[in-house]
């Protein structure tokens, strides 16, 4: 139970759908009556029906967090966000997005403009009670994290908006980046809240001759990961593709896990590959750490296949997904890096890595690409890829679990 003595987090919601506004009102009323809260107290301080009314309400009510719809009359959500970045740059904004291609593109634009995070609108088919349950599990933890101090003691995270990110361009490369004892053969990245804008800042700095493959798990629904891959591909010298089952893992391509499947690295056993070529393996095991895709699956498979040749990076995000996989990489002699607190939208995932002693000095966002490049290009002894004898025990325990889906479709 959360018992910290502080005023409730004040939330303003802007949505032109009367049904959605009703769902949000009921959500906060239900949460206020919850006697076993695992999050800080929070309340809906106001509701706006369009973009113009939203801007006025922000200035009048001074909320701690804004939940902002995209498609609204009089002023589009993106136009509202653009004004807020000037007038209220410190206000965390969570976009409320529909599960459509247009909604995905607009949401990624919003994240690039400074929105802190997003949630999917429940579908029309879900029903009132189900919609409240969906938003309770998705929206409330994000509000708590992005509001800052009230949630920090509970989860070990500290949140800030994109505009509060500290740039540290003079960050020196770590000493071991130029003296690694094992040849880096794969870079694996885990990222969540704040991820799209962070990836857009980092990945274009990797040059076309980056010598090893890169694989990324970003917590997003399927339609969104496809749009994100296309967006990054237009900005990067390396190819960026949404992963598919059986895709060859080779230098020159960044593989982004699709939002409806877990992604691992596996041996290709065809005669043509002579047992050395690695491929993408997608599967539908149950959600892990409430996530699909899960960073733990990717990291653990990299540890099994590449061992000390694995270079892992944990970037901005809520929760602890990736922690067990990072331990596997560390135990096999691989290197784990973590983004620093100052440049993370939420220092949950990288903070857990640092607190567990799996990464040394956290690295600011602006220096991550140089750090990765220095490590993969450092003089190293080559090594052979070995076939894993067995999966880590934590993975074996879930191997027989029946699959289930966790993506919410549609909108109100």
Active site positions, annotated: 192, 219, 321
CA–CA dist 55, 59 (Å, integer): 7
Burial 341-359 (b: 16+ CB within 10 A, else e): bbbbbbbbbbbbbbeeebb
Cβ contact 99:411 at 8 Å: yes
* Contacts with 11 (C-beta within 8 Å, 6 or more apart), sequence order: 28, 42, 43, 44, 45, 63, 64, 65, 66, 67, 143
The H-or-E segment that residue 390 falls in is none
Query: What DSSP string describes 177-242?
Result: GG--SS---EEEEEE-TTHHHHHHHHGGGS-TT--S-EEEEE---HHHHHHHHHHHHHH-SSEEEE
CA–CA dist 222, 257 (Å, integer): 9
As beta bridge partners, residue 218 has: 191
SS3 for 69? strand
CA–CA dist 63, 340 (Å, integer): 27
CA–CA dist 75, 69 (Å, integer): 11
The H-or-E segment that residue 122 falls in is none
CA–CA dist 144, 94 (Å, integer): 12
Cβ contact 123:21 at 8 Å: no
């Amino acid at each position: 139970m959360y018992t910290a003595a502080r005023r409730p987090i004040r939330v303003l919601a802007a949505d032109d759908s009367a049904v959605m506004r009703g769902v949000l009102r009921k959500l906060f009323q239900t949460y206020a009556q919850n006697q076993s809260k695992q999050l800080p107290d929070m309340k809906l301080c106001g509701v706006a029906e369009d973009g113009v009314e939203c801007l006025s309400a922000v200035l009048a009510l001074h909320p701690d967090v804004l939940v902002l719809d995209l498609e609204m009359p009089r002023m589009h959500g993106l136009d509202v966000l653009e004004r807020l970045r000037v007038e209220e740059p410190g206000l965390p904004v969570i976009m409320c997005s529909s599960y459509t291609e247009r909604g995905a593109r607009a949401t990624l634009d919003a994240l690039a403009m400074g929105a802190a995070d997003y949630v999917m609108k429940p579908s029309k088919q879900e029903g009132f009670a189900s919609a409240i349950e969906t938003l309770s599990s998705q929206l409330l933890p994000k509000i708590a994290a992005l509001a800052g101090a009230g949630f920090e003691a509970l989860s070990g995270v500290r949140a800030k908006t994109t505009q509060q990110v500290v740039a540290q361009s003079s960050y020196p490369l770590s000493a071991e980046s130029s003296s690694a004892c094992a040849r880096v053969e794969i870079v694996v990245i885990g990222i969540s809240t704040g991820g799209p804008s962070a990836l857009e800042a980092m990945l274009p700095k990797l040059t076309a001759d980056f010598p090893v493959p890169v694989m990324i798990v970003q917590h997003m629904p399927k339609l969104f990961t496809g749009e994100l891959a296309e967006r990054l591909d237009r900005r990067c010298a390396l190819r960026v593709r949404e992963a598919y089952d059986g895709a060859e893992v080779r230098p020159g391509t960044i593989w982004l896990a699709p939002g409806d499947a877990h992604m691992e690295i596996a041996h290709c056993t065809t005669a043509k590959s002579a047992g050395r070529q690695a491929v993408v393996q997608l599967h539908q095991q149950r959600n892990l750490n409430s996530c699909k895709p899960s960073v733990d699956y990717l990291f653990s498979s990299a540890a099994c296949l590449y061992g000390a040749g694995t270079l892992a990076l944990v970037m901005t995000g809520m929760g602890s997904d990736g922690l067990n996989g990072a331990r596997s990489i560390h135990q096999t002699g691989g290197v784990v890096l973590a983004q620093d607190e100052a440049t993370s939208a939420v220092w949950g995932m990288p903070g857990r890595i640092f607190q567990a002693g799996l990464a040394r000095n956290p690295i600011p966002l602006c220096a991550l690409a140089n750090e990765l490049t220095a490590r993969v290009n450092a003089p190293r002894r080559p090594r052979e890829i070995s076939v894993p004898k067995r999966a880590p025990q934590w993975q074996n325990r879930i191997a027989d679990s029946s699959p289930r889906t966790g993506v919410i479709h549609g909108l109100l």
